[in-house]
Amino acid sequence: MDKLRITGGGPLHGEITVSGAKNSALPILCAGLLTADTLALENVPELNDIATMLRLLGHVGTHAERQPHGGVTIRADQVDKLEAPYELVKTMRASILVLGPLLARFGEARVSLPGGCSIGQRPVDQHIKGLAALGADIKLEHGFVVARAKRLKGASIRTDMVTVTGTENLMMAATLAQGRTVLENAAREPEIVDLAELLIKMGAQIQGHGTDRIVIDGVDRLHGATHRVIPDRIEAGTFLCAVAATGGEITLRAADASHMGATLDKLAEAGLSLEYGADWIRASMRGRPRAVSARTHEYPGFATDMQAQFMALDTVAEGTGVIVENIFENRYMHVQELIRMGADIDIDGHTAVVRGVPRLSGATVMATDLRASASLVIGGLVADGETVIDRIYHLDRGYQQMEYKLRELGARIERVSGRE
Ligand code: EPZ
């Protein structure tokens, strides 16, 4: 298993380009199942999760190919399997996003229930409830969701909680249903808007995307389109947390500050000075960051996917930060590892109290999930001495060439390929 070796202590300086958004590319790839025409996508990040999704699409019979410079083409004109097997789904929960499109286009789908995940139980009951409301006959058999519907019928659906992939699954399914579907309590993330924009280019009739009420008027078929995936706001936020912790000055190219309001507000509170334009963000930090407190919330609130990175920042900040994780029940796996690096953190249920210390000390730590890995990288960048992070396959799921980008910014970081 690969490891990352980081020698901490220096500031970050330079420019990097933010990659396409993983959590937009994943549902957008699945939208390719809704038509027999070709989808030509740009700015699809080169990540393990994307590779898994391309494998899954290939498994059902889709021609899904990578093109140069971040392109991907998809053509689902010879789909011959309507099943997502456990082997693929267990490595990536977002596989559930093939359920809605397969059901809507082919009238049938058999998708393995995603197993648990280290950050929480993460059920898909709302996906199932919504598809049933659209008229699907759904059974849970031998660990699979088995769904059938001659043709889905539009309905009014209110999910019990805001769910990102739940909203995406139901929105995609509704594009080919008969009649109008209204999604109440819909997720409002930029990735939802990006997916809706693609579906509209494919001929879907969607309004209200980006609000908590999305209206979809079903059509008989969708056609091909070309689309450029939005920048990854979580990758951008991760690099900004890093420079707020280490000090220095960096510029992010191809970043979209308009998707990052809550993150940028918190970073300014921590003392990062920020300038930004339509597609760039410049950040500089002098001296020690101030501790910030944050409560995770659905978009446009403070993103749960930024929680671990801000905690790493707080571990070396002036003062005490209080972080509350409201979205997932177990998203503090990074805490024990940060404590091994000398952080002073107390957890009480969903609340973490982080008392800033002048410096962390390098240690051997273990990544447990995607964003926890990012927080350990930030810890390693500011720690005295050497930090070795094990199991960084977690990091590779969601960050394209993290060590190359950090080296471009002057960090002393290298990948050590594991023997076992
Ligand atoms: C998406 O996961 C993201 N993944 C996650 O990013 C992100 O953390 C999460 O949204 C919240 O923003 C992708 O977009 C591929 P949810 P998702 O459904 O859709 C509960 C990363 O780091 N829930 O919005 O799975 C659920 O347990 C990943 O890139 C149900 O109970 O999250 C959670 O507590 C990690 N039943 C809450 O709702 C359901 O049917 C929000 O989950 C669905 C969700």
Domains of the chain: 2-19+231-417 (3.65.10.10), 22-228 (3.65.10.10)
Is 184 in contact with 170 (CB distance < 8 Å)? Answer: no
Rounded to whole angstroms, the Cα distance separating 401 from 226 reads: 26
The pTM of the full predicted model, rounded to 2 decimals, is 0.97
Backbone phi, psi, residue 288, to 5° = -85, 140
- Asked if pLDDT for residue 144 goes beyond 90, the answer is yes
125 annotated to a ligand binding site: yes
- Asked if pLDDT for residue 420 goes beyond 60, the answer is no
- Please compute the mean of the pLDDT values over residues 207-226 and round it to a whole number: 98
Residue 327 C-alpha to ligand 1 middle, in angstroms? Answer: 8
Question: Among residues of the chain, what percentage have pLDDT more than 90?
Answer: 94
Strand partners, 47: none
pLDDT-derived band at 114 (thresholds 50, 70, 90) equals: confident
pLDDT at 177: 98
Atom of ligand 1 nearest to the CA of 187: 24
pLDDT at 119: 77
How many whole angstroms from its chain centre is CA 221? Answer: 29
The response to whether residue 166 sits with its C-beta less than 6 Å from ligand 1 reads yes
Rounded to whole angstroms, the Cα distance separating 237 from 216 reads: 32
| Most informative mutation of 23, 26, 232 for ligand 1 (most atoms within 8 A of CB) | 23
pLDDT-derived band at 121 (thresholds 50, 70, 90) equals: confident
pLDDT at 419: 66
Is 135 in contact with 153 (CB distance < 8 Å)? Answer: yes
Rounded to whole angstroms, the Cα distance separating 201 from 179 reads: 19
pLDDT at 122: 76
The response to whether residue 94 sits with its C-beta less than 6 Å from ligand 1 reads yes
pLDDT at 35: 98
30 is catalytic: no
pLDDT tens-digit profile of 298-354?
999 999 999 999 999 999 999 999 999 999 988 999 999 999 999 999 999 999 999
pLDDT at 120: 76
How many whole angstroms from its chain centre is CA 172? Answer: 18
pLDDT at 418: 77
30's tokens:
């699945």
Residue of 117, 219, 254, 357 marked catalytic: 117
Least confident of 11-25, 80-94, 301-315: 80-94
pLDDT tens-digit profile of 64-74?
999 999 999 99
The response to whether residue 115 sits with its C-beta less than 6 Å from ligand 1 reads no
207 annotated to a ligand binding site: no
pLDDT at 116: 66
Residue 330 C-alpha to ligand 1 middle, in angstroms? Answer: 13
- Dihedral angle sign, alpha carbons of residues 156, 212, 398, 280: positive
Atom of ligand 1 nearest to the CA of 370: 22
